[in-house]
């Protein structure tokens, strides 16, 4: 995730983002601002994904990248590693959206996880 975000920031500064990258940059930036101030912000619709929590042995949360839409992309995150820290572990488009941005794997093996 850090590599994706760093790449988006660099491309934004160089003004070379594609339209899809620009949309993702804006949505992720807004979501991260909301997460940093209040992970339970109503616009994020944050909720635990129990199947991923069991798989990773820690609570995994899903938040919407847009508010007031069920077709929003999702951002997956966990609390930690330190106090009052959040680690973003993945991002993916709405599951049926074939035109969305590139999926980011949620596991070290590169396996894509759909919920």
Total number of domains constituting the chain: 1
What does DSSP say about strands 47-48 and 61-64: parallel, antiparallel, or unpaired? Answer: antiparallel
Distances from the Cα of 102 to the Cα of 73, 82, 94, angstroms = 11, 29, 11
- Tell whether 9 is covered by a domain: yes
**Model pLDDT, residue 26:** 92
pLDDT one-digit tens code per residue, 54-92: 988 999 999 998 877 767 789 999 998 888 888 888 888
**Model pLDDT, residue 108:** 46
- Tell whether 114 is covered by a domain: no
- Residue 65, domain extent: 2-92
Dihedral angle computed from the Cα positions of residues 73, 95, 85 and 26, in that order, rounded to the nearest 10 degrees: -20
- Tell whether 76 is covered by a domain: yes
**Model pLDDT, residue 48:** 94
> Higher confidence at residue 54 or residue 101?
54
- Tell whether 60 is covered by a domain: yes
- Looking at residue 92, the DSSP 8-state letter turns out to be E
- Tell whether 101 is covered by a domain: no
Q: Taking residues 92-103, what's their average pLDDT? A: 52
């Amino acid at each position: 995730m850090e590599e994706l975000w760093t790449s988006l920031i660099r491309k934004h500064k160089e003004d070379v983002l594609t339209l899809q990258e620009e949309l993702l940059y804006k949505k992720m930036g807004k979501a991260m601002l909301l997460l940093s101030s209040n992970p339970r912000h109503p616009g994020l619709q944050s909720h635990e994904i129990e199947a991923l929590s069991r798989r990773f042995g820690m609570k995994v949360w899903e938040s919407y990248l847009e508010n007031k839409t069920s077709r929003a992309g999702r951002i997956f995150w966990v609390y930690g590693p330190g106090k009052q820290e959040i680690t973003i572990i993945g991002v993916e488009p709405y599951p049926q959206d074939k035109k969305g941005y590139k999926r980011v794997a949620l596991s070290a093996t590169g396996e894509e996880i759909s919920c």
